[in-house]
Structure 1
Amino acid sequence: MSDHLFYKLRSGKPVKFLNFLQKFIGLAIPDAYYRSRRKSMLEAARKRPDYEYLKQRVDYYMRITSPWTISMEDKLTRDRSWIHYTGALGDYRRKMFHTAYYFDQHDVTRWFPPRLRWNFCPGDVYFTPKEPTIVKSRLLSEDNMNSVVLKLDKLRHFMYVYDTKPFREKKDCAIFRGKIRQSRLRTAFLQRFFGHPMCDCGVVGRNEGCPEKWMTDKKTIREHLDYKFIIALEGNDVASNLKWVMSSNSLAVMTRPTCETWFMEGQLIPDYHYVEVKEDFSDFEDKLKYYIAYPEKAEEIIAHAHEYVSQFRDNKREELLQLMVMQRYFETSGQL
């Protein structure tokens, strides 16, 4: 227990307790205060010099432009890693799903009348809903229109690092720490590279059916930054470490993404923003050796990754974007 607490205090990740405490205190501000400011916020957005950029982001997250009708029947469906809720904003309760998702959705929905109805599917979503639904993650496919992306599970997914160690001073090695989560990719990677001299990899948390030898101790984010390459492989949906890895001076190494979140993983360019490897990892070792031999090429990718990450660092703009996405969601459903 003490080791677990010690890791949490020095892991480099935000302290969930402190974040939740801040959010609980924030509930003391009446939602009516935010609702009274929504129209002026949206009007001010149109005068911003980056308004065209804002519209592009909103179009990306909310692909629905034609009218649709939401069901008037309240529903709640549960699964292992997600729920699907249909009902009024004001009827969604914290105990229905993880507290982090409750606070993240409330950051946005408090700007709107509680009578408005929505389809909400928090959790690791690896399918496309049958009706327009607010999700954290969606499949990268042509028919994903019903998946409307919002910035959810922010504390876990949207964190960045300040990395002072240059790429050339890091270990000529790749690191992976994570859970298997029934991931075909993660299992295949560990089967091939566990114990490899160019890899420091292992499974953390509870043993979910993997070989016992794969189980290992966690490493802090600071310890990850000692390595030139950090593996970012999809689990249930996206790789949750990708955002902070791309803000570091290490290279993110991953297969081409099949899911995306608010981070717009579908916009990432292989070998420009990250190092892409094949799904069978047959080119993994060659890719690592190439960027070790040509560190200037690695530094170019790191610079591009930093540039990409920078667009998500303006918290006020991020809040406004979510407001615009939800505004369009309620407008197209004929409720505003």
Structure 2
Amino acid sequence: MKDYAYFKQRVKKVYYYLSETVKVNLPVKKFNSSSFSSFRKDNYILERVNYYCKDQDKCSMSDNAIQIAKFKKTKSFAYYADTKKVVRYFSKSFKFDYLFGDIIHVPEFPSFLKSRPISDINQNSILLKLNAIRHYQFLNDKVLFSNKKSMAVWRGYIYQEQRELLVREFAEHPYIDVGHCDSKRLDVPAYKGFMSVEEQLSYKYIISVEGYDVATNLKWVMSSNSLCFMPKPRYETWFMEGRLQAGFHYVELNDDFSDLAEKIMFYEANPEAALEIIKNANEFVSQFLDDEREKVIALLVAEKYFKLSGQLLG
């Protein structure tokens, strides 16, 4: 099972690199502001644009701002491709700042990035849908909640303190199947190796724990028929984790997971409450499934940035 899942992942990556290389090099019509006027009247679209790129009086650029014409692949192809697919619609003379990777601080200059702290003062953190191949894996879960195992599950690496705490505390728990897959950390209990998404979907409760920034599994968990358990998120991405409501979209856990067993028992006794949260989570996910609308929002985010920085009039 592990070898097959690994093979599927490798094939998917090869296809991704080939297809995205073609996409980012295809000629496109330059962004025409007037053709997007109808979208700016859509309150939903406008609200999301303003969420990703918040209003501010001044949007200055750093000395390291890159010109679109000179924007080249550096370390991560995925981050580069996802950014290029947006900025290539604008004048090649425009410049922008960006930060790639797991960003958990607010930059000095307004910058395109994947993640930011959930805060009222993160205006310089301008979100784009970056590294989408890794973070935006939604699924069609065909297993009903009632037919799943009455247990909680988590698998992952334990580079962060909160993840190590989870596996240390619950390694031997009878109805909490947590384990890590880091063969270099065999000193930590509950080394259980790889578990596929399909296998995890056989559990009623799936735990989501932030890593360096957001939890990678959160998107597919919330699109499933399993109930998402997680501590209150500290970071957000294009998925707008800052808008998730505890008890409505997910079950909130204490930061030390001390209430994990208690929450499992509660939802075992109240499955209708679990189903309501799962429904709300699925509905939250549904807003990201319209690819054309997602593209429009991304272009309007970039348009707003270039306007704020004084490079685009209007």
Task: Give the TM-score normalised by the residue count of structure 1.
Answer: 0.88
Contact 1:14 1:155 in 2 (8 A): no
1:92 partnered with 2:57: no
Pick aligned residue for 1:34 from 26, 29, 51: 29
Contact 1:136 1:152 in 2 (8 A): yes
Pick aligned residue for 1:43 from 8, 15, 37: 37
Q: Which moved more, 1:225-234 or 1:136-145?
A: 136-145
Q: Whole-Å Cα distance in 2 between the matches of residues 52 and 192 of structure 1?
A: 45
Contact 1:64 1:146 in 2 (8 A): no
Output the amino acid matched with 1:279.
D
Aligned-pair CA distance for 1:217: 2.1
Alignment of 1:138-153 (within 5 A): 138-153=116-131
Report the 3-state secondary structure (helix = DSSP H, G, I; strand = E; otherwise coil) of the residue aligned with 2:29. helix
- What residue in structure 2 maps to residue 214 of structure 1? 190
Q: Which moved more, 1:322-331 or 1:13-22?
A: 13-22
- What residue in structure 2 maps to residue 79 of structure 1? none
Alignment of 1:114-153 (within 5 A): 114-153=92-131
Aligned sequence identity (%) = 37
Pick aligned residue for 1:60 from 51, 61, 65: 51
1:159 partnered with 2:137: yes
Question: Given the superposition, is the C-alpha separation of residues 104 and 41 from structure 1 closer, same or farther in structure 2, using an over 3 Å criterion?
Answer: farther
The superposition leaves residues 32-63 of structure 1 with CA deviations (integer Å, 9 ceiling, x where unpaired) of x231x54354234246xxx1111100111111
Taking only aligned residues, the RMSD between alpha carbons, in angstroms, comes to 1.8
Report the 3-state secondary structure (helix = DSSP H, G, I; strand = E; otherwise coil) of the residue aligned with 1:302. helix
Q: Whole-Å Cα distance in 2 between the matches of residues 69 and 184 of structure 1?
A: 36
Q: Whole-Å Cα distance in 2 between the matches of residues 275 and 296 of structure 1?
A: 14
Aligned-pair CA distance for 1:145: 1.4
- What residue in structure 2 maps to residue 328 of structure 1? 304
1:251 partnered with 2:227: yes
Structure 1 segments unaligned to the other structure (5+ residues): 75-85
1:186 partnered with 2:163: yes
Alignment of 1:230-249 (within 5 A): 230-249=206-225
Q: Whole-Å Cα distance in 1 between the matches of residues 11 and 222 of structure 2?
A: 17
Aligned-pair CA distance for 1:127: 0.9
Task: Give the TM-score normalised by the residue count of structure 2.
Answer: 0.94
Aligned-pair CA distance for 1:14: 8.3
Output the amino acid matched with 2:12.
V
1:281 partnered with 2:270: no
Question: Given the superposition, is the C-alpha separation of residues 206 and 136 from structure 1 closer, same or farther in structure 2, using an over 3 Å criterion?
Answer: farther
Between the two proteins, the alignment pairs up a number of residues equal to 312
- What residue in structure 2 maps to residue 20 of structure 1? 17
Aligned-pair CA distance for 1:305: 0.4
Q: Whole-Å Cα distance in 2 between the matches of residues 211 and 133 of structure 1?
A: 40
Q: Whole-Å Cα distance in 1 between the matches of residues 171 and 23 of structure 2?
A: 45
